[in-house]
Structures are given as C-alpha cells and as structure tokens.
Amino acid sequence: MSSLPGFSLAARLRAGETVHTGWCGLPAPIVAEIVAREGFAAVTLDSQHGLWDLAGLVVGIAAVRQVGAAPIVRVPLGDFAMVSRVLDFGAEGIIAPMINTAADARAFVAAAKFPPIGERSWGPHRAAMLAGIADQKHYLANGNDNIVTLAMIETRAALANIDAIAATPGIDGLFLGPSDLSIALSDGRTLDPESQAVEAELDRIIAAAQKAGKIPGAYCANAERALAVAKRGMRFCAISSDMGFLRAGARAQLDLLK
C-alpha cells in the first residue's frame, strides 16, 4: 500500500494509531478549522444530522485540510451519490449511517472505491489539487488504499449482519452509533448511549471488526468516554461536537461568575 501526498488518515490507522476526530455540525468552515487547529488528527463534517450542504462542504473540507487534519464526512442516510462528490472535494474518509446488511455495505463501497473494488466515477480534480498531486494517475492507483470507509452499526439488523458487513471488501471499519443503537435495542423506549444494552454490544462490534482486520470506531460524548472505549479496543473515536464544545466553554465561563 502506498500513501498519497496530503492524505494521513488511512496511514495513521494502518500504523496502529488510535485516531480522534472532532465533530462539526455547524456549517461554518472557520469553526471546523478552529477545531482542527486545536490538534485533532481529523475533523468530521456531519451532513446527516448536522447542517452541512454540498457548497459548504467544498469550503469546509479545504479549511480542515489546510491545517493538516484529515477531513471526514458523514453523509445523509442512503445518499451514496454524495459519497463520491465529497471524496472529489477532498475528503479522506466517509461515515455512512444505518449500514444494516452486506448489500448496504456493498452499495457504500461501490460509491467510495474505484474499480475493481467499487464503481466510483472519476473526477477527484479538487481533491488532487488540495493534496498537491500533480499526476492524477497516482490518485487513481492509490486512492482506494487512502480513502477510509466506516459503516455505522446502529440497529438490531446491523448487529445480526455484523460479520458479513465487516467482511465486505472495501469496508475499512465499523463505527458504533450509540444513540440510535440504544433506541433500537430498547424498542424506542430509551435514549441512553451508555446503556447496559449498548455496553453489551460494544465489545461484539470491536471483535467483529478485529476478526475481519477492520478498524473499530465509535462516537463518544466526551474524552472520558473515548479513553474508556479505546482501552477496550476502539481505534477511531469521535469526540463531542462543535456545539458541545461551545456549550461547555460558555457554561464554564458562566460558572466562574457565580
């Protein structure tokens, strides 16, 4: 496997690092840049539940890249057409929600990887420009190895099919969505990302990823949670969000005034 200039996420994960990503839902490139400048290895721009549209992502991805962090995009549910678009913009990783079956995983891979693994259409001109890749054939030859695809595990169906999802060629990792999984496991009665039911499945998700030689990851509400799940084997941890950082900072200052 060969690294692409300007691409760091896949290489870090292959080297065995535990990678922490900031999480941004506010569609403000300067906010994503600020989060990146604080030292996160990656910043995820959320266009599923966050407010990012395609025009914003073009600028947001560049803002994260200029700092030296890896831009990742969570795409909307089932919007695999968007996958190749944001990769063309320069994203290094894609998080796809609600991957419930091997067929879902294959559809995700088809949009994210070039042949023979997938069916991604050619057009990464912006990505090559941002990374300083003069010969775009180099991107074609090494793109598949340097784009990270993370399938979200959030439902009972995903758990039932987890080994098949993990074994899908072109899927690079499994990513626990603890809020939706807690809702699914409680049949809609509870929102508790750290419930006993979710905790019981966390190790299973890690084991399935490791068995298939893939990266286990999770969304974490805070750094304490990220440290705890990393000790259990998680290698890719999203921490809080831009809105969470703003609320915590404002609250901390107001508390000092009391």
- Positions marked active-site: 49
Contact of 14 with 1, CB cutoff 8 Å: yes
3-state secondary structure of 187: coil
Q: What does R_g of the chain's alpha carbons equal in angstroms? A: 18
DSSP label of 163 = H
Closest CA to 235 of 14, 7, 8, 1: 14
Closest CA to 29 of 68, 57, 66: 57
Which amino acid is it at 245?
F
